[in-house]
Amino acid sequence: MMHFVASKLRRMLLLYKKSKESGVNEDSEVTEDSKVMSFDKKKFDLRRVELLRTVGTGTFGRVIVVHDKCSQQYYALKILIIEELVRLKQVEHVKNEKSILMQLNHSFIVKLHWTGHDAKFLYMLFEYVCGGELFKYLREVGHFSSQTTKFYTSEIILALRYLHSLQIVYRDLKPENLLLDSSGHLKMTDFGFAKHVKDRTYSLCGTPEYLAPEILQGKGHNQAADWWATGIIIYEMLVGRPPFYDEDDNRLHIYQKIITGDFEFPNEIDDEDAKDIVRGFLRIDFNERLGGSKNDIHEILNHPWFSDISWNDVLHKKLKPPIIPNVQSDGDTRCYEQYYEQDWSEIPLSSMASRSLFKEF
């Protein structure tokens, strides 16, 4: 399988080798992460990587696990089609994602190492997180225990606290965007909706079941929207589905439920502290919401549900993860779904005008 993928996409890398003549820009700002193996962006060369297998697809491209034959390290290479980004007016969107990711340096957030482009594609090289999506494990067992839910919530909270300290709103918290590393700790990924927000922002984006009411009502939102989504994901881990759920997947019905804020816990959920923190996060008025003010992070950290948690131990990954992914190596891909391996060699070159939009990428 891996040999097949590499051979089918070899022509794409050959194009990259020639792209030096087309003005490929490999010089991108990067902040070293002491938690991640040292990466020298100045010495990195995309021509020396071996393409292995696709682990994710999207509207504009896909994510492929690659092996650096020089360093023997594995990475996740996000490949985006330039003309598709331009056609769908996503140019500033992608630039913003890169700008935010390059600032981030945290144990529970995936690391962007390098970016570049050629005549067809944009490239974003991330650390590879081999354990797969938290969603996969939740789907397999149906729901998590309170202790398991608490473990993952604690790592989510520290990641959000870090982002909010930089005035960044994440806006896409869901199990599909939380990856497990080989030891079972979380890595937050996909920052396509993330944004610097000093006061409020009014754009409508996110996944329907996780949207805060103020986003839907166009009242303007800030970091408190992430704490709403935290309440949603705690409930989902405990119960197996989001609190504002519609069996027919009718978005209008979902939005109506969110705006009214009416939800109940099943009888089998008997952890009162867990239920209390969910209710705190899911307050309709974001000024009253847990996490809704600058000082509320302390109220979150000191909530009774976390009474048996040492936040210092959480930060330094001293707590034992409840799930250890079944992986045999750093480049293992068994925890991800199988995807059709598309041959992109027939994708036409982007126009000079389109390419010029990403000359600093």
Q: Which residues are annotated as a binding site for ATP?
A: 78
Cβ contact 237:274 at 8 Å: no
Q: Tell me the C-alpha distance between 255 and 74, whole Å.
A: 41
Backbone angles phi, psi at 116, to 5 degrees: -165, 180
CB atoms closer than 10 angstroms to residue 318: 9
Residues in binding site: 78
Cβ-based burial of 181 (10 A; exposed 0-12, middle 13-18, buried ≥19):
buried
Q: Closest by alpha carbon to 195, among 220, 163, 219?
A: 163
Residue 189 identity: T
**Residues involved in catalysis:** 172
Q: Where does the chain show beta strands of DSSP type E? A: 49-57, 61-68, 74-81, 112-117, 121-127, 168-169, 178-180, 186-188, 195-196
251, HSE (Cβ side, Cα atoms, 13 Å): 6
**Phi-psi label, residue 167: left if phi above 0, alpha if psi -120 to 50, beta otherwise:** left
DSSP 139-152: HHHSS--HHHHHHH
Which residues in 138-173 are b (16+ Cβ under 10 Å) and which e?
beeeebbebebbbbbbbbbbbbbbbbbeeebbbbbb
Q: What sign results for the dihedral spanned by CA atoms 25, 26, 30, 35? A: positive
Hey, what are 76's tokens? Answer: 């996740």
Q: Tell me the C-alpha distance between 232 and 277, whole Å.
A: 11
Q: What sign results for the dihedral spanned by CA atoms 293, 295, 297, 300? A: negative
